[in-house]
Structure formats: structure tokens, C-alpha cells
Chains A and B, each alone.
Chain A
Amino acid sequence: MPDTYMVPEVLAAIGRECSRTTSYPITASDIRKWALAVYWPEKPPQKFIDAEYATEDFDPFAWGPQKYESLLPEDDGSVIYRHGINEDALGIPKWDFIVGLNGGMDCQYGVRMHVGDVITDVKSVGQWSERPGKNGLMLMTRHVSVWTNQRGEEVKRTINTGISY
């Protein structure tokens, strides 16, 4: 375990935009199936069966994007990173973590997602940090994701926190 995870490569990566991903147009079936899963075993509200709009937590990228583009000159974009951050291309060391956890989410919502919307997701490296824990030094990674629709309206802005040790 290193003395610190806040090495120069990490510090240089913070704030960098890493990828731009474009979804396929959202379908009524996408919205309906998502709602059926998150409300199961009860029936979702009728507005989601009718696909008036998607639940806020709906992910139009779940089964793969229409287009993926790396924004890092060091990355040719040939590999799609679902979570959008190619840490190798950023030069971030590969630490030997035993545990990687979903630490949490922080989301600000804008306009709703509707059938036919095409969502663009730009991911960047957020403010990473470290702190001592009972299992040693823990790394908190934060990835920032900004979704806009085809009209340029912001759909949501999310910070995902990962915890590794």
C-alpha cells in the first residue's frame, strides 16, 4: 500500500474531461422495462407504462452507446469504458486493491428524459481524495458525469464516488 494515492498523475488528472458518449434514441420499451424492474413485483405507475417520460434513475447507456469518443489525446477510444474514465491513459498507477465499493451518488436533475431523446454524457475526473481506514489507506475516486439531451438541455449532473482499499 502506498503512503499516498495523491501522486502527481492523479493530481494532474483531476478536472480532465475524458469521454463523450451518445445514447441511442430512447424508446418506449426502454422506459417501460426499466420501470417494471424498479417497481417489481408491483406494477409501475401508468405514466411509465405509457412511457410519458423516464424515471429519473433511468440509464439510456446501460446496454451500450451509439457513439463513444475519448477526449484524451493519450487514448485512441478503441475500448469503451462504461464508466468513462480510462485511468491507464491518464497515467494513474494500478494499485493492488482488495476491495472496490460503490461509495455513493450525488445527483442534480434537470429536464426529464422522453421517448426519442438522444442523451450525451461527458465524463470527467472529479476531486479524488484519501483517508485512513481500519483496513489501511482508502482511495475515494469521484467521477463527474453530465448528461444533456439533443437540444442541449441538462438532464442531470452526477458525481459517483468509489471507495478502494
Chain B
Amino acid sequence: MTVNIGDVVPTFTRETGFANWNRYAAVNDEFVPIHMDDAAGEAAGNGGAFGMGNLQWAYLHNMLRSWIGETGEILSMEVQFRSPNVKGQTITAHGVVTAVEGDVVTLEVWTDQQDGIKLAPGTATVRMGK
């Protein structure tokens, strides 16, 4: 696959809420009140329970993994968690190519919610599969 600066990666989208978060808590032992209880989430200033940053991290990886192909590799990722993922949001992971050097590609990546507000912006580098 030929990759060029400005190429857009196919997105990865999930509607989010307790059904996602509880499954993630179950594998990551992340039974933290702010992710499971609206009162705890509200006390933390988020209007209710909110999802794990690590799950958005996973969604970004899922997006890239699907794009780079079976023999591709994710080399690095850096993300800031800027805004909470609250119940009922549709979260989409995005990526846009910003640099290409041989088979190593640098991307701007981010998750956003259905209104386009970015939750977790960052960068990633991948090695494209053959």
C-alpha cells in the first residue's frame, strides 16, 4: 500500500457506556467508582460515570492495527486525555498521516465524540506491513 501525507486512516467507532466499561474493567481489574457509579463520577466533576482513558488508548490501537496490515507494527503512541468519555457518547478513533519515511509512517491520532470534540489527541508511528 502506498501511503502519502494527508492520507486518512479508516476510523474505529464505538458507542460507549457501562457495557463497554464493565467489560474493560473485568479484564483490567479497573473497578474504580468513577467508571462505575454516576455519583462518584459527578463528585469528580464529570456529570456522571465516565470511561477509562486506557480504553480510548485501546480503540486508537485497534484503528491503527487494522490499517497497517497483518505484518505491520505499531512502534509508538503518545496521547493526552483531555476530556472525559461520558455515557452515551459515540467515540471515534481517527488518524491522519503527517510524515512518511520508507515504511515508517507518523500520524496525528485522536479520539472524538459525536459532536467532533476531541477527547484524546496525540501522535503515533507505525511500520506498514508488506
Residues on A lying within 8 angstroms of B by beta carbon are 33-34, 36-41, 45, 47, 55-57, 59, 62-64, 99, 101-109, 161
Residues on B lying within 8 angstroms of A by beta carbon are 14, 19-20, 23-24, 26-30, 44-45, 53-55, 57-59, 61-62, 65-66, 70, 73-81, 120, 122
**A62 pairs with B53, CB closer than 8 A:** no
**A99 pairs with B55, CB closer than 8 A:** no
**B28 pairs with A104, CB closer than 8 A:** no
Residues of chain B lying within 8 A (CB to CB) of residue A55: 58, 61-62, 65
List the 3 shortest-distance A-B pairs measured between CB atoms, nearest first.
A104-B80, A38-B58, A106-B78
**A102 pairs with B61, CB closer than 8 A:** no
Distance (whole angstroms) from the CB of B94 to the closest CB of chain A: 17
Instruction: Select one of B55, B65, B77 contacting A107, CB under 8 A.
Output: B77
**A63 pairs with B20, CB closer than 8 A:** no
Given A38-B62, A57-B58, A109-B75, are A62 and B28 neighbors across the interface (CB < 8 Å)?
A: yes
What are 22 of the A-B contact pairs (CB < 8 Å)? Answer: A33-B26, A33-B27, A34-B27, A36-B23, A37-B27, A38-B55, A38-B58, A38-B62, A62-B30, A99-B45, A102-B54, A103-B80, A104-B81, A104-B120, A104-B122, A105-B54, A105-B77, A106-B76, A107-B76, A107-B78, A109-B74, A109-B76
Best-surrounded residue of A47, A99, A104 (most CB of chain B within 10 A): A104
**A62 pairs with B27, CB closer than 8 A:** yes
- C-alpha gap A40/B53 in the complex (Å): 16
Given A37-B24, A99-B44, A99-B45, are A57 and B61 neighbors across the interface (CB < 8 Å)?
A: yes
Question: Which residue of chain A has the shortest Cβ distance to B123 in the bound complex?
Answer: A106
- C-alpha gap A55/B77 in the complex (Å): 14
Residues of chain B lying within 8 A (CB to CB) of residue A63: 29
Given contacts A40-B14, A104-B80, A104-B122, 16 further A-B contacts (CB under 8 A): A37-B26, A37-B28, A38-B55, A40-B23, A55-B62, A57-B57, A59-B28, A62-B29, A64-B29, A99-B45, A103-B81, A104-B53, A104-B81, A105-B54, A105-B77, A106-B78
Residues of chain A lying within 8 A (CB to CB) of residue B65: 45, 55-56
Given A57-B61, A99-B45, A106-B78, are A40 and B19 neighbors across the interface (CB < 8 Å)?
A: yes
